[in-house]
Amino acid sequence: MLIRVGAQANFFPRRTDRDREDFRDAYFYQPSPKLLTLKHRLLFSATSVLFCLLSLKLLAQKQPHEAPSPKIVNIVNFIRLLEPRDAAITEDVLYQTVVKQVEVMKKYHLGGTFLLQYDALIDPRYQKLLKALPRNSFEIGAWWEIPQPQVEKAGLKWRGRYPWDWRANIGFSTGYTPGEREKLIDVYMADFKKIFGYYPKSIASWFIDSYSLDYMYRKYHIVASANCKDQYGTDGYTLWGGYWNQAYYPSKINSYMPAQHAQNQIPVPIFRMLGSDPIRQYDNGLGTARQGVVTLEPVYKFGGGDSVWVNWFLKSFTEDKALGFNYTQAGQENSFTWDAMAKGFEIQMPLIARLRDEQKITLETMEQSGLWFKKKYKVTPPTSFTVSKDIEGSDLKTAWFNSRFYRINMLWENGNLRIRDIHLFNENFPSVYTRQVATSNECTFFTLPVVDSYIWSKPNEIGGLRLKAVIDGKEVLVQGGNPVFTNKTAASMHISWPLTSVKGTLEVDMDERQIKMWLVSDKPVDWYFDMATAAGVKLPYTNIGRKQIKCKFEGMSYAFKAVKGSFGKPVDGIIFRLKPEGNVVWFDCASPL
């Protein structure tokens, strides 16, 4: 008997029955039975049985490799006809910007999505330019800001200062009644179909109210939407506490709030735009009324216009762990002009093309991504975005985890752990804009805060939940090394953080409903989390009980519950302390539902 020893476990799971027969014939020599003694026959039979049993066991074993997480990129450029904020930005400048975007994308054989505001939709130059693009790689959709021609064609009175006015109560669907929104949608859809021969499948904006989104889905069967990244006060628009990246199915009564149940969601995935820096965007502008911007947008010098940042961001995006899938949007609105975006655009496009060719990303149109999401997920999935190595010169690391029930962000800084953010999601939390009309030039969308290190901090008083311990009789911030991120299952992630203050590790499990943390050490450790905020900030807590914190925000009552562990208030300056129970802290983030 001749057996060639090799990586049989790697062969069999991928082979057909015919392959297995060829493999057996090639790797086994079976002598004639006449040449075998009874002893040899028994030995051969026993060995064959053992080998078969081993092979069956290997075949049955679940492979240790994690399921692949697609890294999806949409190149989305949206188009306005005019720019009233700057006289130097003429209609021709805006048009030539789109011409250059098309030119560069074609140069690198990149497809993408162009979204048209209504005034650009009805302009013959844009019609001719975009109709010439191959439909198998380019998508034409709608950018949902409302200009004067669309309003007047719908039989409504224009209230703007200019033919396009970016204020929330004029230039967006939130500025109109539900009946008026239907008319505006019908006008756009009729003209789009007249021009292109079909209805758009993707419609995006900085924000779209849930009434409009649901109407677009029910009547015109859109399959994808997108809204602005999380931001506070930027351009007068606040979207804060939501599903941080990737995509979610919105509640029927709040387009910013992920729904928990299929019957209460609009079945159109909303992708988060602009490619936020997962470390720096959150704290940017801390202590001011408006956040700055650190994103993949090509116009920003520290961000999408900087080759070092772009290479770091896309390296982390493609190589760091992501649960389910990861997503980012490249591209830029034409209002910024080609001169401002050219450097960043020409940095990003060849890099995206290379990553596509190396099969490190999946480049799709918004419609393709929407169809994929709808086929794969019946409700909003759990996802993560992690960074294991920051840009050169920094040792920060982070993990964002989102599900249909909550989001959490952890930041490792100076060897310490701070939980920067926890927001809960509740599909019953209504948005005022679903039925009512915006009355000011600003717009706000929120979810339900439990920890908010941006709003509840000042530059010299940084809030959050910090991991501490009593070591040798002294309270210290727990120090550690580099956290290790893994996808435990297709729907849960694990973090293992090796500690240096004590000999051991902090272990964290997160799935769509709960967060569990425990400390593994060869000796007992008195550890806990302390919550601190800046002095004088308004907090949602109405009662800090032993097993839950009761909260109220924007009229909604909710609770943050500890299945294991207990809340308390030990000393002044600490909002609450969370102590483990049986060495475990266990949050239930889905119990209200």
Q: If you compute the radius of gyration of the chain from its CA atoms, what whole number of angstroms results?
A: 28
Whole-angstrom distance, CA of residue 400 vs CA of residue 245: 9
- Predicted confidence (pLDDT) per residue in 280-289, tens digit: 999 998 878 7
User: Model pTM?
Assistant: 0.88
Domains of the chain: 2-60 (no CATH), 71-390 (3.20.20.510), 451-588 (no CATH)
Residue that has been written with the tokens 């030119």 in this structure: 103
The Cβ of residue 441 has, within 10 Å, a number of other Cβ atoms equal to: 14
Whole-angstrom distance, CA of residue 405 vs CA of residue 269: 16
Looking at residue 570, its amino acid is: P
Handedness of CA 363, 364, 370, 376 (dihedral sign): negative
Most distant CA pair in the chain: distance in Å? 101
Task: Report how far apart, in Å, the C-alpha atoms of 416 and of each of 114, 396, 412, 477, 497 are.
Answer: 43, 10, 5, 7, 10
Four-point Cα dihedral 266, 269, 237, 72, nearest 10: 180
User: CA 306 from chain center: how many Å?
Assistant: 22
Where do runs of H (alpha helix) occur along 274-376?
307-319, 338-357, 366-376
Whole-angstrom distance, CA of residue 365 vs CA of residue 296: 17
Residue numbers of the chain with a pLDDT score lower than 70: 1-67, 592-593
CA geometry: angle 370, 375, 378, nearest 5 deg: 100
The Cβ of residue 13 has, within 10 Å, a number of other Cβ atoms equal to: 11
Ranges assigned E (strand) in 18-169: 28-29, 71-79, 112-116, 138-143
- Predicted confidence (pLDDT) per residue in 152-169, tens digit: 999 999 999 999 999 999
Looking at residue 550, its amino acid is: K
Structure token digits, residue 239: 């979207």
Structure token digits, residue 87: 């006289």
What is the rounded end-to-end Cα distance, in angstroms, of the chain?
64
Residue partners of 357: CB distance under 8 A and separation at least 6: none
Looking at residue 536, its amino acid is: G
Are the CB atoms for 402 and 383 separated by under 8 Å?
Answer: yes
Residue partners of 186: CB distance under 8 A and separation at least 6: 154
Structure token digits, residue 180: 């008026």
Q: What is the pLDDT of residue 3?
A: 29
Where do runs of H (alpha helix) occur along 358-481?
366-376
Q: What is the pLDDT of residue 66?
A: 62
Q: What is the pLDDT of residue 67?
A: 64
Whole-angstrom distance, CA of residue 429 vs CA of residue 254: 7
Whole-angstrom distance, CA of residue 343 vs CA of residue 194: 36
